[in-house]
Amino acid sequence: MSKNLTSRSEDYSKWYNELVVKADLAENSAVRGCMVIKPYGYAIWEKMQAELDRMFKETGHQNAYFPLFVPKSLFEAEEKNAEGFAKECAVVTHYRLQNDPDKPGKLRVDPEAKLEEELVVRPTSEAIIWNTYKGWIQSYRDLPLLINQWANVVRWEMRTRLFLRTAEFLWQEGHTAHETRQEALTEAELMNNVYAEFAENFMAMPVIKGLKTESERFAGAEETFCIEAMMQDGKALQAGTSHFLGQNFAKAFDVKFANKEGKQDYVWATSWGVSTRLMGALIMTHSDDKGLVLPPNLAPNQVVIVPIYKSNEQLDEISQVANDIMKDLRAQGVTVKFDNRTTFRPGAKFAKHELQGVPLRIAIGPKDLENGTVELARRDTLTKQIVTMDTLTSTITSLMSEIQDALFQKALNFRDTHISEANTFEEFKHILETKSGFVSAHWDGTTETEDRIKELTKATIRLIPMNNIQEAGVCVLTGKPSKERVLFAKAY
């Protein structure tokens, strides 16, 4: 099975596409650009959802649900936002099909059932939500309003890739309303920090926190916080964004509140989101040429037990031991599966679990029964050890955190050795062509220069890191003065 996987060095992009499909994570559907998330992939997404949801609630947010459709007149109310998304909107124009008189058994759109006003399938929900908030907010007593939504959104992208860029994707979108500018800014940064914490502690994926430049900001935002991760090919992946929206949406939808002094003022807003794109980030951060590698925190099965047997009698004996092991592991909160399918041989099972990134594999054969041992194989390092039954549970529970940490450290080392400083444009290009990774360089602060560098190198400014060192220098392209370095990279 895994022998069919293209290696990363041969063709990184092909490796990714094959891995997603072969590990049963997702596949393309009959609908252009839309994916099917398969059960194994969805189980990982559910673990992400559960932890993020817990973190959102812990920080005072509640879930709600807003309509899939946005009437065109609402969609266009906040001009920059509308302009930013107009080119990729799926639009509902009719509400009925009818039998096609020319083609028996076929249907066609009923021309009589044309909507008076077209409905945009939400590419993001600021418009419909702020139109709703208008009815919910009258006074400072109604603030802050801290709401999150788990939903599907549609952006009609021309070039799509499973998880990384799909026409429909799943995400959460937080939309909050505040009394003051400062409170909204604090919220936007807080949620970016929540994302960073989740990425690092849960996905074992190191990220850099920072701000987007003006040209990379969310359409309609005054400031966009983000977390950026580095993939194994040195490219950057924007893993989450959190926007300070100022009063833009409040003004577009006329959402005012009476403040403590009784005066009317526009509400301050944030929005923030992460999506199934995180699945792509997870895959590309840890996986290897044999398939998926999963951090224990996100593995649907942290341990799998494979019996090696010749007779049914042997299988019965092994099953008894396996049941004991499962009982002990589950009592410790470890998820474990006994792969006792009789339709597959152990070799095929080993290959499948390796491809699917199960962190630990236990193999039990007749000899193990005699010796009171099992063979324990670790997916991330591909190492094996013989473990006695009496120390198995404690070995596994400590390996769970050891593997989680090891994956993070490995990714962190990779990233930190792939951030290079460039002081001339020659150096800048040389790094991108040879070493790849992020380039830390001075920039004169203009969109013009940013665009020109992108044209010349395909690298964009990924972010201006938080708490960035202030250091006088000159722009790597124009030589104009600069007071801090920013991070450039080619990006997903």
Site residues (vs its own copies, CB under 8 A): 27, 29-31, 34-39, 42-43, 45-46, 62-72, 74-76, 79, 82, 86-99, 105-107, 109, 118-121, 128, 131-132, 135, 141, 147, 151-152, 154, 156, 168, 170, 343
Distance CA 376, CA 353 (A): 13
Cβ 447 to its own copies shortest distance, Å: 22
Q: How many residues does the chain have?
A: 492
Residue number with CB closer to its own copies (32 or 452): 32
Residue number with CB closer to its own copies (39 or 479): 39
DSSP state of 201: I
DSSP class per residue in 390-439: HHHHHHHHHHHHHHHHHHHHHHHHHHHTTEEE-SSHHHHHHHHHHT-SEE
Cβ 202 to its own copies shortest distance, Å: 19
Residue number with CB closer to its own copies (118 or 265): 118
Residues whose CB falls within 8 Å of the CB of residue 95, separated by 6 or more in sequence, listed in order? 113, 115
Closest alpha carbon to 451 in 420, 473, 422, 478: 478
Cβ 128 to its own copies shortest distance, Å: 7
Q: Which helix (H) or strand (E) holds 480?
A: none
In the three-class reduction of DSSP (H, G, I as helix; E, B as strand; rest coil), residue 28 is classed as strand
Give whole-number Cα distances, 186 to 191, 222, 232, in Å.
9, 14, 32
In the three-class reduction of DSSP (H, G, I as helix; E, B as strand; rest coil), residue 232 is classed as coil
Residue number with CB closer to its own copies (344 or 388): 344
Closest alpha carbon to 356 in 410, 287, 308, 306: 287
Residue number with CB closer to its own copies (104 or 311): 104
Residues 227, 192: contact at Cβ < 8 Å? yes
Residue number with CB closer to its own copies (96 or 480): 96
Residue number with CB closer to its own copies (19 or 422): 19
Residue number with CB closer to its own copies (195 or 253): 253
Give whole-number Cα distances, 212 to 72, 218, 221, 440, 461, in Å.
29, 9, 11, 15, 8
Q: Is 386 exposed, middle or buried (0-12, 13-18, 19+ CB in 10 A)?
A: exposed
Distance CA 428, CA 441 (A): 8
Cβ 168 to its own copies shortest distance, Å: 5
Cβ 374 to its own copies shortest distance, Å: 27
Q: Which two tokens stand for residue 109?
A: 């759109």
Cβ 70 to its own copies shortest distance, Å: 7
Residue number with CB closer to its own copies (87 or 327): 87
Helices 12-22 and 277-286, packing angle to 10 deg: 110
Distance CA 186, CA 183 (A): 5
Cβ 127 to its own copies shortest distance, Å: 9
Cβ 279 to its own copies shortest distance, Å: 11
How many Cβ atoms are within 10 Å of 280's Cβ, its own excluded? 24
Residue number with CB closer to its own copies (290 or 349): 349
User: Could you tell me the end-to-end alpha-carbon distance of the chain, in angstroms, rounded to an integer?
Assistant: 28
Residue number with CB closer to its own copies (183 or 427): 183
Cβ 45 to its own copies shortest distance, Å: 8
Cβ 75 to its own copies shortest distance, Å: 7
What are the phi and psi torsion angles at 195 (to 5°)? -60, -40
Cβ 51 to its own copies shortest distance, Å: 15
